[in-house]
Copies of this chain bind each other. A is one copy, B any other.
Amino acid sequence: MAEQSKKWILMVTAQTPTNIAVIKYWGKRDENLILAINDSISVTLDPAHLCTTTTVAVSPSFQQDRMWLNKKEISLDGARYQNCLREIRARANDYEDEKKGIKISKNDWQNLHVHIDSYNNFPTAAGLASSAAGFACLVFSLAKLMNVQEDNGRLSAIARQGSGSACRSLFGGFVKWVMGKEEDGSDSIAVPLVNEKHWDELVIIIAVVSSRQKETSSTSGMRETVVTSALLEHRAKEVVPKRIIQMEEAIKNRDFPTFAQLTCSDSNQFHAVCMDTSPPIFYMNDTSHRQVVLTSGCILSCVVAYTFDAGPNAVLIARNRKAAALMLQRLLFHFPPNSDTDLDSYVIGDKSILKDAGIQDLNDVEALPPPPEIKDKVPAQKCKGEISYFICTRPGRGPVLLPDESQALLCLETGLPK
């Protein structure tokens, strides 16, 4: 490393999607390496609506590793960050940019400090598992910066050490996290099943629930389930392996009824083992229950699947745009916005679904007729204000580099957040 080049800053910016599991990960067999007790399968969400953007920079002028998340500096001391940094540095390679006069040899990376700036394009308070996109983006961008030659599968085993579900954000489309057998976790990696083009009819609507009790973190929650649930081991060893095979087949064949049945059942079972924990963990609340009950018409006719992660938000997967429009009508009928909310901020993401549903403004929402399937059966329940907003999205692609320097979050001169 030449002394005269102390001033240079080398920088990489990447964007990584988040993902939602349709066969759930719950329970670790190794807390430090983050090794799961069962395989899981997820769908990657379109980064246009939900993603993390991360810029990583390296410079001989940096005095220490530093990180900013959503514009606030945070500590990198945690084992999860340290594990990712160590694993990436261990795989770094020689780098040379003659034009800029930068030359970094393989061993230099151990002594060079990095600056990391990360940003989610969705509210962190929404409880949308930002850590999956976050750690995937951290590992992916650092790997590119440090000229790591490994493929995304190998990188997923590093991202996994930041946050288990992060490994699945290294690919687009549908992704399987293979739990693996090795003690060192080297075979506990993400594998792409099909890319985002394979089943591009699907529409995903996320209902972000307004009032939120303090939730158990998924890390401590799954630890408690492993220790206290009498059902978890049976789920992991007997139930999930069969579902994984069926789910892969359903995805391959775009068999929506089977996909929906497995997705709903596995979400139910994840919340069941949470309930079977001592003390019990309640992630779904009355609003979540109502979403299941009130969309049951769509669910029973096999055009919509639901899944709930470690929080009350419903993730609804519609078979196609027509089913999505129908479901959005029902959702808006039962969960209209508060009077001080405008439609534009109540339904975000891919707004074309709103158009398909024939809804242009709040008057259209108020004029929605009661869904036919509930007529005469249950009173038309209106739960105003229970949902904070809806995000319309779809299956999306895996990580990408953003080569345009204007998209970098760090300043090329100072190495500090712009």
Contact = CB atoms under 8 A, between A and B. Distances in A.
Interface of A: 213-214, 228, 230-231, 234-235, 238-239, 261, 264-265, 268-269, 271-273, 275-280, 282, 284-286, 289, 292-293, 296, 299-300, 378
A-B residue pairs, 9 tightest by C-beta? A272-B276, A272-B272, A272-B275, A234-B234, A282-B289, A286-B286, A268-B280, A230-B239, A231-B231
The dominant DSSP class at the A interface is helix
A375 B228 CA distance: 27
Contacts of A282: 284, 289, 292
Nearest to A378: B214
A275 B275 contact: yes
Contacts of A268: 275-278, 280
Contact of A265 (B213, B230, B264, B300): B230
A279 B296 contact: yes
Copies in the complex: 2
A63 to B, nearest CB: 38
A284 B231 CA distance: 19
Contacts of A285: 286, 289
Contacts of A378: 214
Nearest to A285: B286
A409 to B, nearest CB: 36
Contact of A269 (B231, B239, B279): B231
Nearest to A276: B272
B269 A276 contact: yes
A134 B319 CA distance: 48
A70 B299 CA distance: 39
A265 B278 contact: yes
A299 B272 contact: no
Given A234-B238, A261-B278, A279-B296, 16 more contacts: A213-B293, A230-B235, A230-B238, A231-B231, A231-B234, A231-B235, A231-B239, A265-B278, A268-B275, A268-B276, A268-B278, A271-B280, A272-B272, A282-B284, A282-B292, A285-B286
A231 B230 CA distance: 10
A213 B292 CA distance: 13
Contacts of A278: 261, 264-265, 268
Most buried by B among A276, A289, A293: A276
A276 B272 CA distance: 6
Contacts of A284: 282
A300 to B, nearest CB: 8
B265 A271 contact: no
Contacts of A261: 278
A153 B231 CA distance: 33
Most buried by B among A230, A238, A261, A265: A230
A381 to B, nearest CB: 9
Given A278-B264, A286-B285, A272 B231 contact: yes
A292 B280 contact: yes
A306 to B, nearest CB: 10
A385 to B, nearest CB: 15
A273 B234 CA distance: 13
25 contacts: A213-B293, A228-B265, A230-B238, A230-B265, A230-B269, A231-B231, A231-B234, A231-B272, A234-B238, A261-B278, A264-B279, A265-B278, A268-B277, A269-B275, A269-B276, A271-B275, A272-B275, A275-B275, A279-B292, A279-B296, A279-B300, A282-B284, A282-B292, A285-B289, A286-B286
